Structure 1
């Protein structure tokens, strides 16, 4: 009898494993623990280790369900193990979040650069800021990681070796709502950092603006074409998204997301 694992998982990515020659397409899953993980606890070190699951060779309804799985979604599933290889036997999508990965981004928004400069001025290699709409409402959490010579932070994040799940979990715990998130993992072409932007509302203006700006899928223009009231101001430019440091609550250092280098 094959051993099985049942639990709740995040579909972190879907692609052939880059470090395996002639690899078939796989899912990278991260198990979501039922209770919050203390980052200082000994077991936290491997709590979010990636799990590789075959993405091909399914039949019938299970094949259709698996083909529809996109990076970012949360699923309840059962995995069967055969000689170290995992395959799905049951899958149900429970949350429609999205992850998007893009490297060598040209013209990264200036707010991220300003935030990174402030982090480095403090001698840190990692930091975060809260992004806000032009109305001052929080709309995302922006995390910045150093990407120095000899390393590849973007690849580590995409492979799940640097976990993203705790960053999303922190947002979910803070907001305690059912809105699907959108997570953008972007590596600028001309700056030594990688950003992870956890946008609070996948269908909101900020997520659409980022998708538009970096050609990552349907974005603000699609919303305007559809007559979406949230995106359509008189000039088509309201609520684009600004960034301010978590410690600065007076809104005096706002940046427009569309400020480009």
Structure 2
């Protein structure tokens, strides 16, 4: 039996199977570790795909898919240093007693190049891990940016400072742009090789 739908790719660990987020129901689906009829090695965390799943086994396999949006998600823990805009946003949140804050980021020409969110960490493995495993979807943040900036591929970074006090979510507006490249270089987070993007 096949079940088609729109999914966000969350985790791509072929040994343990893929983790997908149903974009309509927000249900998490862990696929089989093998037996797929589609080239799943071409998928990366953050991709939005339309996929047909084969549910004839306990764990579904991916029968076929098409990439609708090759946005990339990256997760980096224990970052140091914390860049100034994120540190300032967190300090402002603390001053007002809020558990989150947001602001746009700008390049040296004062052009908007991204959107920054900071969230108070809820325990050492709380907020950061819930973003990574999809139990707290990043989609609402990304969708909000897309509504304002157009539905282009993005690069989304989830970063947790060494202190573990808060979590940073940065949505770089231009995939492969200078801002995204700078973040990848600063936090030793190379861009994956994308064969289908």
Equivalence for 1:7 = 5
Measure the CA separation in 2 of the matches of 1:177 and 1:78: 23
Residues 1:185 and 2:174 are matched in the alignment: no
Q: CA deviation at 1:97?
A: 1.0
User: Deviations 1:107-148 (Å, cap 9, x if unpaired)?
Assistant: 121221111010121111122111111212111111111114
The answer to whether the 8 A contact 1:6-1:77 is kept is: yes
Q: 1:84: Cα distance to partner?
A: 3.9
Aligned to 1:176: 150
Change (3 A) 1:169 1:177: closer
Structure 2 CA distance for aligned equivalents of residues 115 and 150 of structure 1: 20
Matched with 2:98 is 124
- After the TM superposition, list the runs of 4 or more consecutive aligned residues in structure 1 that deviate by more than 3 angstroms: 148-151
Structure 2 partner of 1:196: 169
CA displacement at 1:186 relative to structure 2: 0.8
Alignment of 1:19-168 (within 5 A): 24-33=15-24, 47-58=25-36, 62=38, 65-82=39-56, 84-149=58-123, 152-168=126-142
Q: Which has the higher strand share?
A: 2
Q: Alignment RMSD, CA only?
A: 2.0
Structure 2 unaligned spans of 5+: 192-197
1:83 Cα deviation after fit = 5.1
TM-fit CA distance, 1:151? 5.2
In 2, Cα distance between equivalents of 1:171 and 1:55:
33
**How many positions carry a matched residue from both structures?**
192
Unaligned runs of 5+ in 1: 17-23, 34-46, 219-261
**What SS does structure 2 have at the residue aligned with 1:166?**
helix
TM-score between both structures, scaled by the size of structure 2: 0.89
Q: How does 1:206-217 map to 2 (within 5 A)?
A: 206-217=179-190
Which deviates further from its counterpart, 137-146 or 74-83? 74-83
The equivalent of 1:42 in structure 2 is none
Instruction: Give the direction of change, closer, same or farther, for the CA distance of 1:73–1:119 in structure 2 (3 Å limit).
Output: same
TM-score (norm 1): 0.68
Q: CA shift at 1:176, angstroms?
A: 1.6
Q: Please list the CA deviations of residues 60-110 of structure 1 after superposition, one character each: whole Å capped at 9, or x if unmatched.
A: xx2xx2111111111111112245412111111122111111111121212
